[in-house]
């Protein structure tokens, strides 16, 4: 399974707003090269990155008067993909009606969202990251590329049993095991797993947030088409939601656009927490990304990835169903499974 199974009629993140300045930037979406640039009013556009004249990559040109200029003969295109100048063409001649495929773009909350299909006016809006307008929450955005499909990155982000092994010592340990009950609920566009009976994670972040221990409220969610979300509540006022939008850059390449939103107990200042949280989060993510790359490369010798699953692989089958458009009817979440884990 590759990212060809991920729906194209959806919004995906291709860059942070601040990455797109005056020069055009190159990205891919479903393996197709795109060029992002800003018009004279600063509005972002996304075009298929191929000049119709002789196929040069527009992203290697520059932006002139709000239109991207091809590096070869200088044809310029606006954010709608219309050719607005052919240098050297006599003023008495009409401009040719050449067009480049153009994707709808919405810039919101510091992210550049691009619709998956060119030439369409979407009737949906991009996903809203939680707590964007809530001053009690601090939000930390980050992007990183993964060698793996949306499906594999999402399953990894929402998979609990690997944490005691791959991330040994960082947030769970394989030595101390607990009986945990997992309630799985499915809705039309999402699946969530609620972990009941989980003690506070024993790593440094858990100790900082809830020094006295206690139970944890923990949800893992997959929201169609490609959003993974982990939510933790510890003690009375520590609340952390890590939301990742997964963009299918190419068949087996995925962009992780993450926003961690958190609220802390009054006694833990953000200025102390972020410098501790970020390196640990990046270390955990690095371990995950290396493993995803390793298993993909390793499986090549065996003809590709193949899975043997147990009930501990709680969300994988639901992610597959949601990615292949298998809706359940009800709009509200309904319980579909209760699983007992000893992890």
In this chain, which of 288, 289, 292, 343 binds Fe ion, going by CB under 5 A? 288
Between 51 and 261, whose beta carbon lies closer to ligand FES? 51
For residues 53, 56, 60 and 66, what is the CA-based torsion angle, rounded to 10 degrees? 20
Q: Per-residue x/- mask for Fe ion, residues 244 to 273, rule CB under 5 A?
A: ------------------------------
For residues 76, 82, 83 and 84, what is the CA-based torsion angle, rounded to 10 degrees? -70
Q: What whole-number distance in Å separates Cα of residue 121 and Cα of residue 21?
A: 25
Between 26 and 174, whose beta carbon lies closer to ligand FES? 26
What's the full length of the chain, in residues?
Answer: 343
Between 117 and 143, whose beta carbon lies closer to Fe ion? 143
Partner from Fe ion, ligand FES, none binding residue 288, C-beta < 5-8 Å depending on class? Fe ion
List of residues contacting ligand FES (CB under 6 A): 51, 53-54, 56, 70, 72-73, 75
Q: Smallest gap, in angstroms, from Cβ of residue 66 to ligand FES?
A: 18
143: enclosing H helix or E strand: strand 138-147
Please state, as a whole number, how many other Cβ atoms lie within 10 Å of the Cβ of residue 74: 16
Q: What is the side-by-side strand order in the sheet with 102-103?
A: 25-29, 32-38, 44-48, 102-103
Between 33 and 141, whose beta carbon lies closer to ligand FES? 33
Of residues 71, 76, 73, 66, the one with CA closest to residue 37:
66
Of residues 253, 298, 29, 4, the one with CA closest to residue 153:
253
Between 46 and 264, whose beta carbon lies closer to ligand FES? 46
Please state, as a whole number, how many other Cβ atoms lie within 10 Å of the Cβ of residue 174: 12
Q: Smallest gap, in angstroms, from Cβ of residue 77 to ligand FES?
A: 9
Partner from ligand FES, Fe ion, none binding residue 205, C-beta < 5-8 Å depending on class? none
Q: Is residue 155 a contact point for Fe ion (CB under 5 A)?
A: no
- Residue 320 near residue 151 (C-beta atoms within 8 A): yes
- Residue 283 near residue 277 (C-beta atoms within 8 A): no
Q: What whole-number distance in Å separates Cα of residue 148 and Cα of residue 294?
A: 10
- Residue 70 near residue 56 (C-beta atoms within 8 A): yes
End-to-end CA distance of the chain: 29
Partner from Fe ion, ligand FES, none binding residue 75, C-beta < 5-8 Å depending on class? ligand FES
Partner from Fe ion, ligand FES, none binding residue 219, C-beta < 5-8 Å depending on class? none
Which residue is it, tokens 């990615």?
A: 323
Q: Smallest gap, in angstroms, from Cβ of residue 1 to Fe ion?
A: 20
Between 60 and 173, whose beta carbon lies closer to ligand FES? 60
Residue nearest to Fe ion (CB): 288
Q: What whole-number distance in Å separates Cα of residue 133 and Cα of residue 108?
A: 12
Q: Is residue 152 a contact point for Fe ion (CB under 5 A)?
A: no
Partner from Fe ion, ligand FES, none binding residue 43, C-beta < 5-8 Å depending on class? none
Partner from Fe ion, ligand FES, none binding residue 152, C-beta < 5-8 Å depending on class? none
Between 96 and 286, whose beta carbon lies closer to ligand FES? 96
Q: Smallest gap, in angstroms, from Cβ of residue 73 to ligand FES?
A: 3
User: Quick check: helix, strand or coil at residue 37?
Assistant: strand
Task: From 116-124, 146-154, 241-249, 282-290, give the range in contact with Fe ion by CB under 5 A.
Answer: 282-290
Partner from ligand FES, Fe ion, none binding residue 180, C-beta < 5-8 Å depending on class? none
Partner from ligand FES, Fe ion, none binding residue 37, C-beta < 5-8 Å depending on class? none
273: enclosing H helix or E strand: helix 270-300
Binding positions for Fe ion, rule: CB under 5 A: 288
């Amino acid at each position: 399974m590759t990212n060809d199974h991920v729906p194209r009629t959806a919004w995906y993140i291709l860059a942070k707003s601040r990455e797109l300045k005056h020069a055009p930037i190159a990205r891919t979406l479903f393996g197709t090269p795109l060029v992002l640039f800003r018009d004279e009013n600063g509005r972002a556009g996304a075009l298929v990155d191929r000049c119709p004249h002789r196929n040069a990559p527009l992203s290697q040109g520059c932006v002139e008067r709000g239109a991207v200029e091809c590096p070869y003969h200088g044809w310029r295109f606006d954010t709608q993909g219309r050719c607005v100048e052919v240098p050297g063409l006599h003023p008495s001649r009409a401009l040719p009606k050449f067009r480049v495929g153009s994707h709808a773009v919405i810039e919101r909350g510091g992210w550049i969202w691009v619709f998956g299909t060119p030439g369409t006016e979407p009737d949906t809006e991009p996903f809203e990251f939680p707590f964007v307008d809530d001053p009690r929450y601090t939000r930390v955005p980050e992007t990183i590329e993964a060698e793996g499909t949306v499906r594999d990155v999402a399953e990894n982000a929402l998979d609990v049993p690997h944490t005691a092994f791959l991330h040994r010592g960082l947030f769970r340990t394989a030595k101390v095991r607990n009986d945990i009950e997992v309630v799985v609920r499915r809705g039309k566009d999402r699946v969530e797993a609620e972990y009941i009976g989980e003690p506070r994670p024993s790593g440094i972040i858990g100790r900082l947030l809830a020094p006295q221990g206690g139970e944890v409220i923990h949800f893992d969610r997959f929201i169609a088409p490609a959003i993974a979300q982990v939510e933790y509540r510890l003690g009375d006022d520590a609340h952390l939601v890590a939301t990742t939008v997964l963009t299918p850059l190419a068949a087996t390449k995925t962009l992780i656009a993450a926003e961690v939103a958190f609220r802390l107990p009054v006694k833990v200042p953000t200025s102390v927490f972020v410098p501790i949280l970020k390196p640990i989060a990046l270390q955990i993510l690095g371990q995950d990304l290396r493993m995803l790359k390793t298993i993909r490369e390793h499986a090549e010798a065996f003809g590709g990835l193949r899975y043997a699953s147990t009930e501990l692989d709680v969300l994988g089958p639901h992610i597959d169903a949601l990615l292949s458009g298998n809706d359940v009817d009800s709009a509200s979440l309904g319980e579909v499974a209760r699983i007992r884990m000893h992890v």
